[in-house]
Each structure stands twice: as C-alpha cells, then as structure tokens.
Structure 1
Amino acid sequence: MTPLKIAVFVGSLRKGSFNRQLARAVEKLAPAELVFEHVRIDDLPLYSQDFDAAYPTVASRLKNDVASADALLFVTPEYNRSVPGVLKNAIDIASRPWGTNSFAGKPAAVIGASIGATGTAMAQQHLRNILAYLDMPVLAQPEVFIHFKDDLIADDGTIGNDGTRKFLQGFVDRYVAWITRFAG
C-alpha cells in the first residue's frame, strides 16, 4: 500500500483530552502505511467572510494541511449536544471561501469519546451533516461512541481493555478499507 497521509482533527483543546487519547489509540492500531498528522486548530482566528479577500497565514496553513491530506479523521467531544466551536471554526475556515473547499472529495471518519453514557452521538451526527454538505464521503459503520472511563486509554494511546481494543481494531480495519477505496 502506498503511504496515505491522514489529517487528524481533535476537537478538544484540553491538555488531558480523552479524544486525543482516542486518536492516539487509533493511530497505534493502524498499519504503518497510514501517516497521521494532527492538524493544529488552537491558534485560528474566528472565521469572518472578511478573510476571503486575503486569508490570514494560519488559516492558509490549515487549508494547505487539509488539501495535502489523502483522508481525514475527526475525533470530537460533545459540547452541549453538538461539536465544539473550535472544531466548527476550523471546518469553516478550511472550507471557505466559496469554491475553494479543501475538504471536497476526501474520505473521512468521525469518532469520539466522552464520560457521558451516550458518548458523543449527538455531536457526531451534527458533524456528519456538516461533512456531507462539504462533499466528503464519511464512513458510516462502525459508529464509535466511546464511554470514557479511567484507565480505558492511556495518554500514549495504549488501550487498557481487550474489548475496546478489538472494537477499535475493527473500526481501523474498516477505515483503512474505506480510505483505500477513494485513494486508488
């Protein structure tokens, strides 16, 4: 398999982010041919249509990070039953101005973790709606709503539960097949 660059969007800025841990766990389970690059979103200004005439340097960097990727992985927490503002802002910046959508046609997957019993189901559904509008084929199954508990996944991505490891390996296998289908 030719190496594939995966742009990873983690929607949490928290230092001890469960979603960053989940992203690392997925990366550890993936074949070596997948190269994961975390996209920086913590330094972006709030999107304004005023940017469309001359994009700020950090916004252009984001658009280039997305454009140079073969596929995307969105790892989102759930804030007030939706996606975090920082993630939505990054998506708005990389998809604008009209006619320069950096996401168009790129395969993606959406996963997430939360301490809540329903994981990130609502946030993921909102995010899937956004990505569909942006012309991204998004892996539908398996859905990954991780109910995060202590010692489930370590900071380095080590998975402490065999059932979770098997489930996430199944996700990774499907994700690899999905993005390979579009990369060919």
Structure 2
Amino acid sequence: MSDITIAVLVGSLRKESFNRRLAQALVRMAPAGCKFTMPRIDDLPLYNQDDDAHQAEAVLRLKSEIAAVQGVIFVSPEYNRSVPGVLKNAIDHASRPYGTSAWAGKPAGVIGVSGGAIGTALGQQHLRNILAYLDMPTLGQPEAFIQAKDGLFDANGGIGEDSRKFVQAWLDAYLAWVKKHS
C-alpha cells in the first residue's frame, strides 16, 4: 500500500480505556506504508456556535490534523446507548462553521469495544448517522462490535490470539476502503 495517514479518534478520555487499547493495537497491526495519528480531543472547549468566527487553538489544531489525513477511524465506547459526549463535541467542532467541515469526503471506519454482549452496536449506529450527514463514506462491512473479555488483549497490548484474525480482517477491509475512496 502506498503511504497513507489515518487519524484514529478515541471516544474515551479514560487512561485505561479498552477503546484506547484497541486503537493502539490497531496501529501496531498496520501494514508498511500506513501511518497513524491520534488527534487530541480532551482539550477542546464545549462546542458553542458563537465561537465559530474565532475558533480556539485546539479546534484549529484538530481541523488541521483531520484535513491532513486520508481517512479516519473512530474507536469508541457506547455511553447510554449512544456516542460519548467528548467524541460528539470533537465531531461538531471539526465540522463547523457550516461549509468548512474537515470531515467531508474522508473515508471512515467505526469500531469499538465494551463489556456488554452487544459491544458498541447502538453507539456505532448513532455515529454512522452522524458520519453520513458529514459526507464521510463509512465502511459498512465487516462490522466490529467487540466485547471485552479475558484474552482480548495479549500481555504486550496487542490483540489476543482468539480475536487477532477478526480484527486484522476489519483493519484490512478498512484500509482497502480508504484506497477505494482516496
């Protein structure tokens, strides 16, 4: 694969987040020629349309980082059957003011892990609705609703043996999606 850069946005601020661990494992699984960035979203102010004319430095940084990549992977937990507020805040900031969205046309992948049996299925569906509005072609299949179980991560922070083939197949499908839409 020719050189591409993918932004990975983690929808959790928790230091020991399963989703942060999943994001870091995905980075390790990438083939040669694929680079990842992990833009910060923890320092963004709450979105307020009154600030669109004078966006905060952290917002401008996020928009610049998204503009510089060929695709975006959203790795997120599900909070109350939806998208975590911190992720929605980042999405709103980088899409505004109207007509200056950093997201438009960026191929997206959606994946997440939680302790629940259905993983992050409902949160992912809400996120997919948002991404459709933002004109982000989003990988539909395979879907990845991952349940956090013993062995999901190995001792080195990678994906454990029982899940590695599935997660690698998802990543490979996403990278092919980026190539198709770039």
TM range (shorter): over 0.9
Q: Which residue of 2 aligns with 1:96?
A: 96
Q: Which residue of 1 aligns with 2:35?
A: 35
What letter is aligned with 1:153? F
Q: Which residue of 1 aligns with 2:129?
A: 129
Q: Is the counterpart of residue 59 in structure 1 residue 56 in structure 2?
A: no
Q: Which residue of 1 aligns with 2:72?
A: 72
Give me the whole-angstrom Cα distance separating, in 1, the residues matched to 2:91 and 2:155: 26
3-state DSSP of counterpart to 2:119: coil
Give me the whole-angstrom Cα distance separating, in 2, the residues matched to 1:158 and 1:23: 10
How many Å apart are 1:156 and its aligned residue? 5.3
Give me the whole-angstrom Cα distance separating, in 2, the residues matched to 1:139 and 1:12: 21
Q: Is the counterpart of residue 166 in structure 1 residue 153 in structure 2?
A: no
Post-superposition Cα deviations, 1:141-184, rounded to whole Å, max 9, x if no partner, equal 0100110023311485412233x10101111111111101122x
Post-superposition Cα deviations, 1:2-45, rounded to whole Å, max 9, x if no partner, equal 21110110001101010011112222222121111001000000
Q: What is the TM-score normalised by the length of structure 2? A: 0.96
Give me the whole-angstrom Cα distance separating, in 2, the residues matched to 1:94 and 1:157: 30
More relative contact order, 1 or 2 (CA 8 Å, 6+ apart): 1
**Kept after mapping to 2: 8 A contact 1:7/1:39:** yes
* Structure 1 runs, 4 residues or longer, greater than 3 Å off: 154-157
Q: How does 1:109-128 map to 2 (within 5 A)?
A: 109-128=109-128
Give me the whole-angstrom Cα distance separating, in 1, the residues matched to 2:56 and 2:64: 12
What letter is aligned with 1:61? R
Q: Residues 156 and 78 from structure 1, CA distance in 2 versus in 1: closer, same or farther, beyond 3 angstroms?
A: farther
**Kept after mapping to 2: 8 A contact 1:142/1:171:** yes
Give me the whole-angstrom Cα distance separating, in 2, the residues matched to 1:56 and 1:5: 25
Aligned positions, number: 182
Q: What is the TM-score normalised by the length of structure 1? A: 0.95
3-state DSSP of counterpart to 1:7: strand
**Identical counterparts, % of pairs:** 60
Q: Which residue of 2 aligns with 1:24?
A: 24
Give me the whole-angstrom Cα distance separating, in 2, the residues matched to 1:138 and 1:85: 20
**Kept after mapping to 2: 8 A contact 1:113/1:147:** yes
